[in-house]
Amino acid sequence: MESSDWSPISGGITSPHGFMASGMAAGLKPSGKKDLALLYAPEGSFCSGTFTKSIARAYCVELCIERIKVCRGKIRAVLINSGQANACTGNRGKIDSELITQQVAQRLGLSSEEVLICSTGVIGEPIPLDRVTNSLNDLVENLSKKGSLDAANAILTTDLQVKQIAHETILGKRRVRIGGMAKGSGMIHPSMATMLSYLTCDAGVRPDIWSSMVKRVADSSFNAITVDGDTSTNDSFLAFSTGELLDPKYLPALENGLHMTAQYLAKAIARDGEGANCLLEIKVEGAKNDLDARIIARTISGSSLVKTAIHGSDPNWGRIIAALGRAGVPCDLKDIQLWIGPYKLFADGMPMNFDRKVVSDYMQEKLNGKYLIDDKIDIRLIVGMDEGSSIAWGCDLSDQYVRINADYTT
Residues 75-94 that bind a second copy (CB under 8 A): 85, 87-90, 92
Alpha-carbon distance 117 to 64, whole Å? Answer: 7
Helix intervals (H) in 242-289: 251-271
Confirm if 300 and 324 have CB atoms less than 8 A apart: yes
Half-sphere exposure of residue 242, counting CA atoms within 13 Å on the CB side?
26
The count of residues interacting with a second copy (CB under 8 A) is 72
Nearer Cβ to a second copy (251/295):
295
Total number of residues shown for the chain: 410
Among 23, 83, 186, 257, binds a second copy (CB under 8 A): 186
Q: Least distance (Å) from a second copy to the CB of residue 133?
A: 22
Tell whether residue 386 is a contact of a second copy (CB under 8 A).
no
Tell whether residue 291 is a contact of a second copy (CB under 8 A).
no
Contact region with a second copy (CB under 8 A), list: 106-114, 206-214, 237-245, 394-402: 394-402
Among 17, 308, 343, 365, binds a second copy (CB under 8 A): 308
**Per annotation, catalytic residue among 120, 194, 231, 233:** 194
> For the sheet containing 115-122, what is the strand order?
20-24, 36-40, 77-84, 115-122
Tell whether residue 185 is a contact of a second copy (CB under 8 A).
no
Tell whether residue 361 is a contact of a second copy (CB under 8 A).
no
Among 27, 42, 207, 229, binds a second copy (CB under 8 A): 229
Tell whether residue 358 is a contact of a second copy (CB under 8 A).
no
Among 203, 329, 391, 395, binds a second copy (CB under 8 A): 329
What three-state secondary structure class fits 175?
strand
What is the DSSP secondary structure assignment for residue 87, as one 8-state letter? -
Tell whether residue 326 is a contact of a second copy (CB under 8 A).
yes
Nearer Cβ to a second copy (314/378):
314
Contacts of 209 (CB under 8 A, 6+ apart): 251
Q: For strand 343-347 and strand 337-340, is the pairing parallel, antiparallel, or unpaired?
A: antiparallel
Tell whether residue 278 is a contact of a second copy (CB under 8 A).
no
Contacts of 366 (CB under 8 A, 6+ apart): 278, 341, 374, 375, 376, 377
Tell whether residue 410 is a contact of a second copy (CB under 8 A).
yes
Q: Least distance (Å) from a second copy to the CB of residue 328?
A: 8
Contact region with a second copy (CB under 8 A), list: 5-13, 67-75, 246-254, 328-336: 328-336
Tell whether residue 187 is a contact of a second copy (CB under 8 A).
yes
Tell whether residue 302 is a contact of a second copy (CB under 8 A).
yes
Half-sphere exposure of residue 98, counting CA atoms within 13 Å on the CB side?
8
Confirm if 38 and 65 have CB atoms less than 8 A apart: no
Tell whether residue 408 is a contact of a second copy (CB under 8 A).
yes
Tell whether residue 207 is a contact of a second copy (CB under 8 A).
no
Which candidate, 161, 238, 227, places its Cα nearest to that of 189? 227
What is the DSSP secondary structure assignment for residue 362, as one 8-state letter? H
What part of residues 1-20 is at the interface with a second copy (CB under 8 A)?
A: none
Among 2, 342, 353, 407, binds a second copy (CB under 8 A): 407
Which candidate, 129, 178, 140, places its Cα nearest to that of 22? 140
Tell whether residue 31 is a contact of a second copy (CB under 8 A).
no
Which amino acid is it at 59? Y
Q: Least distance (Å) from a second copy to the CB of residue 111?
A: 28
What part of residues 116-135 is at the interface with a second copy (CB under 8 A)?
A: 122-124
Which amino acid is it at 57? R
Phi, psi (degrees; rounded to nearest 5) at 238 = -120, 135
Contact region with a second copy (CB under 8 A), list: 150-158, 174-182, 202-210, 299-307: 299-307
What is the DSSP secondary structure assignment for residue 43, as one 8-state letter? T
Tell whether residue 409 is a contact of a second copy (CB under 8 A).
yes
What part of residues 236-265 is at the interface with a second copy (CB under 8 A)?
A: none
Q: Strand ranges (DSSP E) for 255-387? A: 279-287, 337-340, 343-347, 350-351, 376-382
Nearer Cβ to a second copy (253/278):
278
Confirm if 9 and 166 have CB atoms less than 8 A apart: yes
Tell whether residue 353 is a contact of a second copy (CB under 8 A).
no
Please indicate whether residue 194 is annotated as part of the active site. Answer: yes
Alpha-carbon distance 210 to 403, whole Å? Answer: 41
Tell whether residue 309 is a contact of a second copy (CB under 8 A).
yes
Among 43, 53, 145, 216, binds a second copy (CB under 8 A): 53
Confirm if 351 and 321 have CB atoms less than 8 A apart: no
What three-state secondary structure class fits 50?
strand
Tell whether residue 30 is a contact of a second copy (CB under 8 A).
no
- Active-site positions? 194
